[in-house]
Amino acid sequence: MSLTHKFLNIALPLVTLIVLPIITVPFLFFKLVLSVKKLVCIENLTRKVVLITGSASGIGEQLAYEYAKRGAVLSLVDVREDNLKAVADKARSLGSPDVITIVADVSKVENCKRFVDETVNYFGHSKLFSLQLCLQWIPSAGTVMVEKLEDCIDISVPRPIMDVNFWGALYGTLFAIPHLKRSRGKIVVIASGLGWYPLPRLGYYNASKAAIINFFETLRTELGWAIGFTIVSPGFIKTDLSKRILASEASLRLFPMASAEECAKAVVQGVCRGDLYVTYPLWVRLGFPLKVIFPELVDWLHRLVFRISTNAFENKENLNLSQNSQLKAE
């Protein structure tokens, strides 16, 4: 077995160096043709059903408005009932022919089954829906915690992050898949640039978004062409969630924030083109290869920006000084 691996360690890099130049030009030409096709064949969303979780605020709210402008009918899901009704009213005023609201907690599996069933039952009884069903499942609910991983001793504290960010997206997706396959629908998942390029003190949030990306990439491969997929990786967007992050970690204020409205426009445009990935703003994508090619440099910059010491004794001494100063202040 060791000889096999030694052979592959030598042979595969050589084969890759030979094959890559051969396939690069044809592949780029194929991508060019595909891009032209996407620009010409923009999907018409009129009367198509779009189900959005986390739609009472943030990116989910702006997505509801953007889909409404394009004439889609909406199923809006959130745990905050008052906000949800306000979003639904505005979506109707912007052009959505029909909007329903469902109050549900995406971290609870029975709630996820319920809002998928209610959406399909409500719109499925109409003749128009049965003729051109295109249910788009957009999990965009999320939560976050800002803290160094070593300081989080109680593992039950970050558990809701995975429950909402990962399991909330997974539960609803699994219940929606049979309906999406019948309608040739789409899954549009709101991940994060932090799923590709993790930042310090956001470890559990980074992990939840990385899990989402890996899960939906695997699901896309397994389902083939039965369902369309778009994985969205936003940077820091002006939402209540981002404001809570910046309030807890001042170093993150170095990163410019983008408009949730503009992000939603980019997402819907990408979905209508059939893009596999949407990154907004586009410059966020530059961090992905940097992390792979220059990991030592990225780690050093993170420690510098976030003022993280690598000396355990120094960390302990700083902690003691901090505690002493608090005691004096009291």
Q: Give the dihedral sign, CA 28/214/234/277.
A: positive
| Cα–Cα distance list, 255 to 56, 80, 145, 305 (Å) | 25, 29, 18, 11
> Going by C-beta distance under 8 Å and a sequence separation of 6 or more, which residues neighbour residue 237?
58, 59, 257, 258, 259, 260, 263, 280
Pick from 132, 117, 129: nearest CA to 44 = 132
DSSP three-state, residue 177: helix
Amino acid at the residue 192: S
In three-state secondary structure terms, 229 is strand
Residue from 6, 49, 67 nearest 136 by CA:
49
Distance CA 205, CA 156 (A): 14
Residues 288, 289, 291, CA angle at the centre, nearest 5°? Answer: 70
Which of 67, 197, 204, 205 is catalytic? The answer is: 205
Beta-carbon contacts of residue 318 (< 8 Å; ≥ 6 apart): 309
What is the separation of C-alpha 41 from the centre of its chain, rounded to a whole number of angstroms?
Answer: 25
Is 277 tagged catalytic?
A: no
The sheet with strand 73-78 has its strands ordered as 99-103, 73-78, 49-53, 136-138, 186-190, 228-234, 277-280
Contact 285, 279 (CB under 8 A): yes
Q: Strands, DSSP E only, in 58-194?
A: 73-78, 99-103, 136-138, 186-190
For residue 121, how far is the Cα from the chain centroid?
27
Which residues are identified as catalytic?
205
